[in-house]
Chains A and B, each alone.
Chain A
Amino acid sequence: MAVFRDFKKEGIDRSAGDRRRHRQLVRKAIRENIGHVISEESIIGQSGDKKLKVPVKGIKEYRFIFGENAPGVGQGDGDSKPGQVVQRDRQGAKGLPGEPGGDPGEDVYETEITMEELIDLLFEDLNLPDMERKRFHILESERLIKTKGYRIKGTRPRLSKKRSLVQKIKRKQGLERSRDGEEGDSEPVPFHEQDLRYHHKVVTPKVFSNAVVFCIMDTSGSMDTTKKYLARSFYFLLYRFLKTRYQNVEIVFISHHTEAKEVTEDEFFHKGESGGTMISSGYRKALQVIEERYNPALWNIYAFHCSDGDNFSNDNADAVRCARDLADVSQLFGYGEIKPVHSLSWSSMLEIYKEIKNENFVTVTIRSKDELWPAFQKFLKHDKSERRAQAANA
Chain B
Amino acid sequence: MHDYTIADLEKWDRRIRNAAEDAGLNPYPQEFEICDYHDMIGYEAYAGMPSHYPHWSFGKSFERKETLYQLGIVGLPYEMVINSNPALAYLLRDNTLLLQVLTIAHVYAHNDFFRNNANFEYTRPEYTIERFKAHADRIRSYTEDPSIGADKVEGILDAAHALQFQCRRAKRVRKRTPEDQKAAALKAARPADDPFGSIHKKREYDPPDLTRIPLEPEEDILLFIRDYNPYLETWEKDLLTIVLERADYFLPQIETKIMNEGWASYWHYRILDALDLDQALRLEFFKRHNQVIRPLRGGINPYHLGYKLFENIHRRWETPSREEQDEYGRPGGQGREKIFQVRESDRDESFLRQYLTEELMRELDLFQHEKKGSDRVITHVPTPDDWETIKETLLRNVGLAGMPVITIVEVKTQGTQEMILRHEYDGRELEAEYADRTLRYVQKLWGKKVVLETRLAGECCRMSYGGTGDKVEVSRS
Residues of A within 8 A of B (CB): 1-6, 8-9, 13-15, 17-23, 25, 58-90, 96-102, 104, 109
Contacts and interface: CB of A to CB of B under 8 A. Distances in A.
A25 B150 CA distance: 14
B473 interface: no
A5 B397 contact: no
A87 B376 contact: yes
A96 B14 CA distance: 40
Contacts of A59: 56, 60
B194 interface: no
B298 A86 contact: yes
Interface stretch (B181-189, B276-284, B317-325, B367-375): B367-375
Given A64-B434, A72-B397, A75-B364, A22 B60 contact: yes
Given A72-B393, A76-B365, A97-B296, A4 B34 contact: yes
B297 A77 contact: yes
B56 A25 contact: yes
Nearest to B27: A2
Interface stretch (B39-47, B113-121, B200-208, B225-233): B39-47
Contacts of A77: 295, 297, 365
B31 interface: yes
Given A71-B368, A73-B367, A101-B397, A20 B390 contact: no
25 contacts: A4-B13, A14-B42, A15-B45, A17-B59, A18-B55, A22-B59, A61-B57, A61-B60, A62-B438, A63-B161, A63-B165, A67-B430, A72-B369, A72-B376, A79-B365, A81-B378, A82-B378, A82-B379, A85-B375, A86-B298, A86-B378, A90-B374, A97-B299, A101-B397, A101-B403
Interface in B26-81: 29-36, 38-39, 42, 45-46, 54-60, 62-64, 67
Given A62-B438, A73-B366, A77-B297, A67 B431 contact: yes
A62 B438 CA distance: 6
Given A6-B34, A18-B62, A62 B162 contact: yes
Interface string B144-181: 00000000001000000111111000000000000000
Contact of B394 (A5, A9, A15, A73): A73
Nearest to B257: A98
A89 B166 CA distance: 30
A15 B46 CA distance: 9
A25 B104 CA distance: 39
A290 B297 CA distance: 65
Contacts of A66: 402-404, 428-431
Nearest to A70: B428
B437 interface: yes
A17 to B, nearest CB: 6
A75 B365 contact: yes
B17 to A, nearest CB: 7
Given A1-B17, A62-B162, A96-B299, A67 B428 contact: yes
A64 B403 contact: yes
A193 to B, nearest CB: 63
Given A63-B165, A64-B423, A73-B390, 4 more contacts: A1-B14, A63-B161, A64-B435, A73-B366
Contacts of A71: 368-370, 379, 393, 428
Contacts of A3: 30-32, 86
Interface of B: 6, 9-10, 13-14, 17, 29-36, 38-39, 42, 45-46, 54-60, 62-64, 67, 86, 93, 104, 154, 161-166, 295-302, 304-305, 364-371, 374-381, 390, 393-394, 397-398, 402-404, 406, 423, 428-435, 437-438, 441
B366 A14 contact: no
Contact of A4 (B6, B56, B365, B428): B6
A85 B54 CA distance: 42
Contacts of B32: 2-5
A104 B434 contact: yes
Given A8-B36, A22-B60, A68-B371, A98 B403 contact: no
Contacts, number: 241
Contact of A75 (B104, B297, B393, B441): B297
A104 B296 contact: no
Contacts of B55: 18
A20 B59 contact: yes
B59 A19 contact: yes
B376 A98 contact: no
A211 B417 CA distance: 59
B402 A100 contact: yes
Contact of A84 (B57, B377, B406): B377
Contacts of B57: 18, 22, 61
A81 B31 CA distance: 48
B472 to A, nearest CB: 13
Contacts of A4: 6, 9-10, 13, 31-34
Contacts of A85: 375-378
Contact of A101 (B9, B56, B402, B438): B402
A71 B35 CA distance: 40
A18 B53 CA distance: 10
A80 to B, nearest CB: 4
Given A64-B435, A70-B428, A80 B302 contact: no
A63 B434 contact: yes
Contacts of A109: 67
Q: Which of A18, A84, A98 has the most CB of B within 10 A?
A: A18
Q: Which of B31, B298, B423 has the most CB of A within 10 A?
A: B298
Q: Which of B31, B161, B301, B434 has the most CB of A within 10 A?
A: B434
A2 B13 contact: yes
B298 A87 contact: yes
B431 A80 contact: no
Contacts of A60: 434, 437
A73 B375 CA distance: 15
B30 A64 contact: no
